[in-house]
């Protein structure tokens, strides 16, 4: 095993600056996808062993601690750190790290753990009893990670049918804020059937009660192709240029809407891809306990891609 081979096995760009978060994220998703307890395809055992060995090699190579960050929020923390390689252990670690700790996500974690650990018919019975707002969130997670969690397409369709039955009398409204709206913490006054709802645009989805029926408001920002916003409200920006052009500039200017960030040229390495993080300088993070709270900011994560030739 060598560094290049280990990176390839975990689908990590060999020129990318590897962090603990990146390494563990890649390991969890691939280990679940190719775990022999769930994947019946040929050569799954050898593929899984390759993933495991690559992860252990890179953890040692980078001198990373082979534990998840301590978090008393989840009851399974000790199991996760002590039973590596076990499917349930990897699953719990995966779920723990795709959900931001709060009371609502603790419920999602518990439900997803049950659903992913049983057969699909039992899982559908469990989900049919889940309140519709929570079910929609769970559906989004299951759809996004369907292959990793080994759910069939038919299973996902049946969940959607359960949701459609639950929301048939509800209303869904989509708003399209700009990235500047997000930085400025703008709100939108939405009027529905005589009611006025004040919608904080940095949230991705909110649900309001409208005389017994729910109004679902989805905020889908209008973003250029090189900008994405993840589920923790971190902004990901792709900056592409060639070495000659960068060499003539003292600073690289990163325009995120009308907000500018500057990267000093001398801080960059001569490599084709690297990551620069502007910590806590992005848009407001989502606070489900106080939807208008703007005190906690996300990061702006810039991936600098340099054409060396």
Query: For the chain, what are the domain ranges?
Result: 3-166, 171-219, 227-307
Q: Tokens 């190719």 map to which residue?
A: 34
Which pLDDT value is given to residue 119?
87
Tokens 């008393």 sit on residue: 72
Looking at residue 2, its pLDDT comes to 92
Reading the block at residue 203, the tokens are 């949230």
User: What kind of architecture, by CATH, is found in domain 227-307?
Assistant: Sandwich (2.60)
Q: How far apart are CA 299 and CA 303, in angstroms?
A: 13
- Residues of the chain under the 70 pLDDT cut: 65-84, 100-104
Query: What pLDDT, on a 0 to 100 scale, did the predictor assign at position 77?
Result: 44
Phi, psi of 117 (to 5 degrees): -105, 10
Burial class (CB in 10 A: 0-12, 13-18, 19+), 124: middle
Alpha-carbon distance values, 142 to 85, 145, 147, 280 (Å): 22, 5, 9, 29
C-alpha torsion sign, points 36, 39, 42, 44: negative
Query: DSSP letter at 284?
Result: B
List phi, psi (to 5°) of 210.
-130, 85
Find the radius of gyration of the CA atoms of the chain: 22
Burial, 212: exposed, middle or buried (Cβ in 10 Å; 0-12, 13-18, 19+)? Answer: exposed
Please tell me the predicted confidence (pLDDT) of residue 70.
44
What pLDDT, on the 0 to 100 scale, is given for residue 255?
Answer: 95
How many Cα atoms within 13 Å fall on the side-chain side of residue 220? 6
Integer Cα distance of 126 and 105 in angstroms: 17
């Amino acid at each position: 095993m060598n560094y290049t081979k280990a990176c390839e096995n975990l689908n990590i760009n060999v020129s990318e600056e590897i962090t603990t978060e990146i390494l563990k994220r890649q390991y969890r998703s691939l280990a679940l996808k190719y775990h022999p307890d769930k994947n019946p395809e040929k050569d799954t055992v050898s593929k899984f062993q390759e993933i495991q060995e690559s992860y252990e090699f890179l953890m040692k190579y980078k001198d990373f601690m082979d534990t998840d960050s301590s978090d008393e929020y989840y009851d399974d923390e000790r199991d996760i750190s002590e039973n590596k390689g076990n499917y349930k252990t990897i699953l719990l670690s995966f779920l723990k790290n795709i959900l931001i700790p709060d009371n609502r996500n603790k419920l999602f974690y518990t439900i997803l753990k049950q659903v992913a650990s049983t057969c699909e018919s039992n899982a559908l019975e469990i989900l049919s009893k889940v309140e519709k707002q929570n079910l929609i969130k769970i559906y989004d997670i299951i759809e996004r990670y369907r292959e990793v969690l080994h759910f069939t397409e038919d299973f996902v369709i049946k969940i959607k049918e359960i949701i459609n039955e639950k929301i048939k009398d509800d209303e869904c409204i989509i708003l399209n804020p700009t990235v500047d709206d997000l930085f400025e913490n703008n709100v939108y006054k939405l009027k529905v059937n005589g009611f006025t709802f004040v919608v904080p645009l940095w949230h991705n989805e909110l649900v309001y009660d409208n005389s017994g029926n729910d109004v679902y408001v989805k905020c889908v920002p209008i973003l250029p192709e090189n900008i994405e916003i993840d589920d923790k409200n971190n902004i990901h920006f792709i900056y592409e240029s060639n070495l000659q052009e960068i060499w003539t500039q003292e600073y690289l200017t990163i325009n995120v809407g009308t907000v500018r960030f500057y990267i000093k040229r001398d801080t960059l390495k001569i490599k084709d891809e690297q990551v620069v993080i502007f910590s806590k300088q992005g848009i407001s993070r989502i606070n489900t306990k106080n939807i208008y709270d703007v005190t906690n900011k996300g990061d702006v994560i810039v991936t600098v891609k340099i054409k060396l030739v």
